[in-house]
Structure 1
Amino acid sequence: MATQMYSVAVPNSPDIPGEGKPRRSVLCPDKLVENYPSIKAGATITTLYENFLEGVLRSDGGDFLGHRPIVNGAPQDYKWESYTKVQKRVTDFGAGLSHLGLSPSDNFGIFSINRPEWTMSELAGYMYNYTTVPLYDTLGVTAIEYIVNQTEMQIIIASADKASIILNLKSTLPTVKIVIVMGELDDALVTEGKDLGVNVVSWTSVEASGLERPVEAVHPTAEDVATICYTSGTTGTPKGAILTHKNFVGTIGSFHMMAKHGKFFIPSCADIHVSYLPLAHVFERLCQSVMISGSARIGYYQGDTLKLLDDIAVLHPTIFVSVPRLFNRIYDKVLAGVKAKGGLAAFLFNRAYNAKKANLRRGIIEHALWDKLVFGTIRARLGGKVKHIVSGSAPISPDVMDFLRICFSADVYEGYGQTEQAAGLSMSYRGDLTPGQVGPPQLCTEVKLRDLPAMNYTSQDKPFPRGEIMLRGTSVFKGYFKSQKQTEETLDAEGWSSTGDVGQWDAQGRLIVIDRVKNIFKLAQGEYIAPEKIEAILAKHFLVAQVFVHGHSLQATLVGVVVPDAETLKLWANENKLGDKSYEELCAHPLVRTTLLKELTVFGKESDLKGFEILKNIYVTSEQFSIENDLLTPTFKLKRHQAKEKYNAEIDRMYNEINNN
């Protein structure tokens, strides 16, 4: 029986020293996808505005955007607006922006957590060919100033709390003239703006002005800029990736073509997506664009991730898109709960889990008995109706991928992409239950691996080629805004974009992300360390919530900063006569540190970490790594440089302890 291949070498591609052959999905070996066909005979979707019209057409007047009104501090049931209603509001709001002075190709900022007005503002930009520039909710004052001033932004659409931030920064934002406030507008904010020379108006008043005086929209072409999306970055100032309508539609078209071949899904009116990943990031914006293309409903969270599961319980999403950090937490909580229960409950869970895991190897994700008897309560954590789970933003461990398929009986996909490709680089296929891979290239891109001899990764490696992941195609960005030097560092003359990630082709032509070029460091004895790989393994330990691994080039060993899991630490404390201690007191207790270090040493060895990858000392803290304390990006990636700066004293102390013993 022939091995099923997921990608093939590009026909007639030249042999280039130091590089592997470019590969494309087996579904499009000869031509990359640039768009997709409408359900309207003879029509083709080429822009994000046309993508919205496609959603309106497919919806047949069905619901589109939903939010939970807060009454007397209590969230209510979801309130929905239809595709046709939103289309009218978007048309009016876009016209209102025109009355405020916006012309086609002009930019405006959006500064808010996810909410219906965020999406409607963006759709207005698509309809009237304005360029959206999202401001990250927690990007930091310096970065906000940098983005606003670099783009010479005059109009910012913001929630009331973010509008206050903009007004507080007005002295350093000379171009800002108008702030449009989502939701209720406080008179004090209007007065403050007036004193600063800023016209503060409500979102609904802009909408009303467009209703009163319609403006004929100048719709975009595929080559027009849809957005300048600034990368959150883990170091340095943010870079504004210039993304066109074609970049996004190429990726959306890839999903449609994959669905046509039964390798993915296109949502319908019956599907619901919960929107909580930051809309300022390209991943969630692409997800929403795909949802819109199939006329799915989009329900927004309240704005507090701690209440996300409450929102999900009310919303009952059928599609759940998230990042490994959240999936890892679900995995840890479930397994810790099973261990705590013990007895018959643990026996049944393990028997059910092992039975379903064996079935995964035969391509089966459902089990009539175990799904109802054992996994029903776990499935209820995500609302009980999830059919499709998508993980993106960072690598997810094979164990967690298996866990999601076993416990939720859902199709689970792992995607891989970056801001610079409108999040469209590769995606695993429906029915392929092999964990640890991110599928073949998206149908809009071709991918090759470039040798990294300093890291011992080459395209000639046996049994599988390895190297830096490079791509070219429809989804690849035009360059960085006003940053020619950085553009030339990322994009070459032939359109190949470097990712900074290290990949490997498997035997079936699927991509595996194995390393990060910039996050590799060398220890004193010459061993290369990939800290993210080690962190992903150690974070699966039931006592660990978060971990930061660090190594110094002048040292021969690794150290780490560990944030314990509050619930499981409490259970451990009860068993070790420390049950009267608070979480903060436990984190500071010497026994917790020594126990955690021993546990992680054993766990690391059991997980096949090499000797030089084992932590030799740790610092335990009760302070979570978060966006708010600038240790995580908006997509929950660890800011390694900031973490090193924050814990520099502890790192030095840990190395002193190692070297003095």
Structure 2
Amino acid sequence: MSGSTQKHQYSVEVAGASDIPGEGKPRRNALSPDKLILHPDGATTLYENFLHGVKEAGDGNFLGHREIKNEIVGSYVWQSYNTVQKRVANFGSGLRKIGLIPKEPLGFFSINNPEYVMAQLASYQYNFIAVPLYDTLGAEALEHIINQTGMKYCLATVNKGRVLLDMKEALPTIQTIIILDTIDQEFNDLANALDVKILNFTDVEQVGSVQPVEAENAKPDDVATICYTSGTTGIPKGAVLTHKNFMANVASIRWLADRGTMFKSTPNDVHISYLPLAHVFELANMATMIYGGSAIGFYQGDTLKLLDDIDELKPTIFISVPRLLNRIYDKVMAGVKVKGGVAQWMFTAAFNSKKSGLKQGRYDHWMWDRVVFAPIRARLGGKVKYILSGSAPIAPDVMDFLRIAFSTEVFEGYGQTENAAGLTVSLFGDTSSGHVGPPQVSVEVKLVDVPEMNYTSNDKPYPRGEICVRGHTVFREYYKLPDETSKTIDKDGWCHSGDIGQWDDQGRLMIIDRVKNIFKLAQGEYIAPEKIENIYCKHELVSQAFVYGDSLQASLICVIVPDEEVLMHWAKQNGFEGLSYEELCKDAKVRKHFLQTLIKYGKANDLKGFECVKNVYLTPEPFSIQNNLLTPTYKLKRHQAKLRFQREIDAMYAEITIKL
């Protein structure tokens, strides 16, 4: 096929859309150009979604966990859809009996496990609002979420419950903690002293099973969850997501599957749940799996043991994030290098042969899959049919590797908390990399000009701009933050993502930049660079700092303008006398000292591990208005700084990779 006009188009402009200056026309998935899909057959809410799964699977496996006795990990123990349905109803009834009323928040503070999901489903059946908590953001964020929602009831494991009790003075509304594992006497005594009621999960079930309270089922526009974003700047914001938002996502995946362009979950499928249910990506995954009546097995709670859990569970659908997929890629490639010789030659020959096959849309090979790639497939249990990557961008070479090594369809999705993780997804049979596919069939997408960054809808060869989405997955509001809501959702219902996108020649979206000075690292953590720079600039050795993170990398790097006077003084005291300021900036030992100093200083100033830079470059030339690195108000021009130091940025990341 020659010429871009003959290439398959994955998205099309909305018919009749007007030309608006400063933005491109909205686009929809080419498979549904005339309408946006709202919900799948027979399920308008997340509770009805569960009932559909019960109908599909019945006595088939639903929730599985590994029993650990005397520190020995056993095989998976399963509960069926029918069994879980009864337990969910009893638990929901029990929550009503102990005082929780519909449309009130129920906190969730635990790793993923069967009880977590049963409590979620009970929330959907009895119309409570699920509010996930997670302590990676620190006590301040926990306090904010609990107090902003007025949370009285919270599910927790004992270790997380202890965190709440330790903070009780700052959490006046917390009255009852429902424990998902075993309660010890010390915990009970502490709770009694603080006047907090402690119940066991099974106690609540038992109470609810006697003369059960009738459920007040949620409606599509009722709130399913308030999902707090991982705090891009200070305090996290609560995205209010409705049942309709999640069901539109399920509908899109199912609708595409019915047309042979996406995987369809069935009672024969197995999903491993280890991505945190406190984040919207796994919530959306879970809903899709449940609709199809699939089995869901949970990890032990330790990502270092995840491959052991996978080996035991043997999932058929593997949904992951770049951080883990990158680790698999790195380990395989490092192993090949170590083996060397014939083994390395054979792997390279097989890999290159299959890579050329990808260009023709093929990801399997009759010989290489058996001879070379079978042991790699076994790392994910050997039964994986589909892999989906989401939550952060994945490098094209890793996508190619996954398709080649696992001989399977690999999809990449793109979404945010604010659109229930459902914005775009790549489709079945598309074996190219570097894009995140066309819009889901439940939304439409447009690009709006960002002239200050030189991104416009008239850019050649492809239009670029801020990604804006409108449709059924878009959240209702930020909880109790009307001003923030109006900054994100405009008067016409378009949700502004803060990401810069580009349409390719086949109507697929590529993520190329961030509008705001906030970005995601490869493991999905949000970074506010100004906060980190402000801390580093307080150190006597640092005059100016530019912190940068590539969304395909797991760590931050930093360009530093040292304080010349302080550096020269330090040099005299540390055996570097005789070197000029410029020579000191180039010296590898001086750079190493700066890096070690900043890591130590960052930790002493409460920077989290992922916020500490892993490499530095020292430049003797200050950032200034004259060299176009500062605005007239002396703010750093990040985009210009990135362009200016691109070579040094690449070199710093290359050094980090070599060290690993």
User: What range describes the TM-score normalised by the shorter chain of this pair?
Assistant: 0.7 to 0.9
Counterpart-to-counterpart distance in 2, 1:530 and 1:263: 40
The structural deviation recorded for 1:620 is 11
Provide the residue aligned with 1:213 in structure 2: 211
Selected match of 1:346 from 339, 344, 347: 344
Deviations 1:475-496 (A, max 9, x none): 0000100111111111111110
Provide the residue aligned with 1:101 in structure 2: 99
Equivalent residues of 1:109, 1:153 under 8 A apart? yes
Equivalent residues of 1:519, 1:531 under 8 A apart? no
Counterpart-to-counterpart distance in 2, 1:464 and 1:182: 52
Deviations 1:412-465 (A, max 9, x none): 000000000000000000100110110000111100001011111100000100
Provide the residue aligned with 1:427 in structure 2: 425
Provide the residue aligned with 1:462 in structure 2: 460
Provide the residue aligned with 2:309 in structure 1: 311
Selected match of 1:31 from 31, 35, 43: 35
Equivalent residues of 1:48, 1:245 under 8 A apart? yes
Counterpart-to-counterpart distance in 2, 1:405 and 1:160: 41
Aligned residues: 567
AA of the residue aligned to 1:308: L
Counterpart-to-counterpart distance in 1, 2:510 and 2:502: 5
Selected match of 2:87 from 86, 89, 102: 89
Selected match of 1:512 from 510, 513, 516: 510
Counterpart-to-counterpart distance in 2, 1:368 and 1:273: 27
Matched, 1:550 2:558: yes
Equivalent residues of 1:515, 1:530 under 8 A apart? no
Provide the residue aligned with 1:655 in structure 2: 618
The structural deviation recorded for 1:250 is 0.3
The structural deviation recorded for 1:531 is 4.2
Equivalent residues of 2:547, 2:559 under 8 A apart? no
AA of the residue aligned to 1:483: L
The structural deviation recorded for 1:138 is 2.2
Counterpart-to-counterpart distance in 1, 2:373 and 2:547: 35
AA of the residue aligned to 2:399: M
What pairs up with 1:240-319 in 2 under 5 angstroms?
Answer: 240-319=238-317
AA of the residue aligned to 2:373: F
Provide the residue aligned with 1:562 in structure 2: none
Counterpart-to-counterpart distance in 1, 2:618 and 2:103: 54
The structural deviation recorded for 1:630 is 6.4
Counterpart-to-counterpart distance in 2, 1:78 and 1:621: 45
Equivalent residues of 1:190, 1:201 under 8 A apart? no
Counterpart-to-counterpart distance in 1, 2:464 and 2:549: 18
Equivalent residues of 1:519, 1:530 under 8 A apart? no
SS in 1 for 2:293: coil
The structural deviation recorded for 1:506 is 0.5
Selected match of 1:126 from 96, 100, 124: 124
AA of the residue aligned to 1:310: D
Moved more, 188-197 or 263-272: 188-197
Provide the residue aligned with 1:136 in structure 2: 134
Provide the residue aligned with 1:68 in structure 2: 66
AA of the residue aligned to 1:3: K
The structural deviation recorded for 1:338 is 0.9
What pairs up with 1:396-415 in 2 under 5 angstroms?
Answer: 396-415=394-413
Matched, 1:18 2:22: yes
CA separation of 1:621 and 1:76: change in aligned 2, threshold 3 A:
farther
The structural deviation recorded for 1:656 is 6.7
Counterpart-to-counterpart distance in 2, 1:510 and 1:247: 23
Counterpart-to-counterpart distance in 1, 2:145 and 2:469: 27
Provide the residue aligned with 1:196 in structure 2: 194
The structural deviation recorded for 1:61 is 1.4
AA of the residue aligned to 1:354: N
Deviations 1:497-536 (A, max 9, x none): 011100000011100011112247999xxxxx99444x63
The structural deviation recorded for 1:266 is 1.4
Provide the residue aligned with 2:651 in structure 1: none
Counterpart-to-counterpart distance in 1, 2:357 and 2:294: 31
The structural deviation recorded for 1:621 is 10
What pairs up with 1:561-580 in 2 under 5 angstroms?
Answer: none
TM-score normalised by structure 1 residue count: 0.82
Equivalent residues of 1:301, 1:311 under 8 A apart? yes
Equivalent residues of 2:9, 2:30 under 8 A apart? yes
What pairs up with 1:636-651 in 2 under 5 angstroms?
Answer: 642-643=611-612
Counterpart-to-counterpart distance in 1, 2:61 and 2:415: 30
Unaligned runs of 5+ in 2: 519-528, 534-545, 564-586, 623-660
Counterpart-to-counterpart distance in 2, 1:190 and 1:14: 64
Equivalent residues of 1:268, 1:295 under 8 A apart? yes
SS in 2 for 1:138: helix
Counterpart-to-counterpart distance in 2, 1:465 and 1:551: 31
Counterpart-to-counterpart distance in 1, 2:353 and 2:280: 38
The structural deviation recorded for 1:194 is 1.6
SS in 2 for 1:396: coil
SS in 2 for 1:415: strand
What pairs up with 1:315-464 in 2 under 5 angstroms?
Answer: 315-464=313-462
Counterpart-to-counterpart distance in 2, 1:356 and 1:398: 15
AA of the residue aligned to 2:509: L
Equivalent residues of 1:320, 1:390 under 8 A apart? yes
The structural deviation recorded for 1:314 is 0.7
Selected match of 2:9 from 5, 17, 31: 5
Counterpart-to-counterpart distance in 1, 2:8 and 2:547: 31
SS in 1 for 2:487: helix
The structural deviation recorded for 1:658 is 8.6
Equivalent residues of 1:324, 1:394 under 8 A apart? yes
Counterpart-to-counterpart distance in 1, 2:104 and 2:491: 28
CA separation of 1:179 and 1:247: change in aligned 2, threshold 3 A:
same
SS in 2 for 1:105: coil
CA separation of 1:553 and 1:453: change in aligned 2, threshold 3 A:
farther
Deviations 1:293-350 (A, max 9, x none): 1011111000011111111111111111111111111111111111111100000000
Equivalent residues of 1:112, 1:137 under 8 A apart? no
The structural deviation recorded for 1:105 is 0.8
What is the identity percentage for the equivalent residue pairs of Structure 1 and Structure 2?
51
CA separation of 1:414 and 1:162: change in aligned 2, threshold 3 A:
same
CA separation of 1:306 and 1:49: change in aligned 2, threshold 3 A:
same
CA separation of 1:377 and 1:57: change in aligned 2, threshold 3 A:
same
SS in 1 for 2:555: strand
The structural deviation recorded for 1:183 is 1.7
TM-score normalised by structure 2 residue count: 0.82
Counterpart-to-counterpart distance in 2, 1:52 and 1:552: 53
Counterpart-to-counterpart distance in 2, 1:351 and 1:530: 40
Unaligned runs of 5+ in 1: 38-43, 524-528, 540-545, 556-592, 598-614, 633-637
CA separation of 1:290 and 1:96: change in aligned 2, threshold 3 A:
same
The structural deviation recorded for 1:549 is 2.3
The structural deviation recorded for 1:233 is 2.6
Provide the residue aligned with 2:523 in structure 1: none
CA separation of 1:262 and 1:118: change in aligned 2, threshold 3 A:
same
CA separation of 1:35 and 1:553: change in aligned 2, threshold 3 A:
farther
The structural deviation recorded for 1:547 is 3.2
SS in 2 for 1:164: helix
Deviations 1:49-77 (A, max 9, x none): 00000000000310100001110011110
Counterpart-to-counterpart distance in 1, 2:112 and 2:195: 28
Equivalent residues of 2:455, 2:464 under 8 A apart? yes
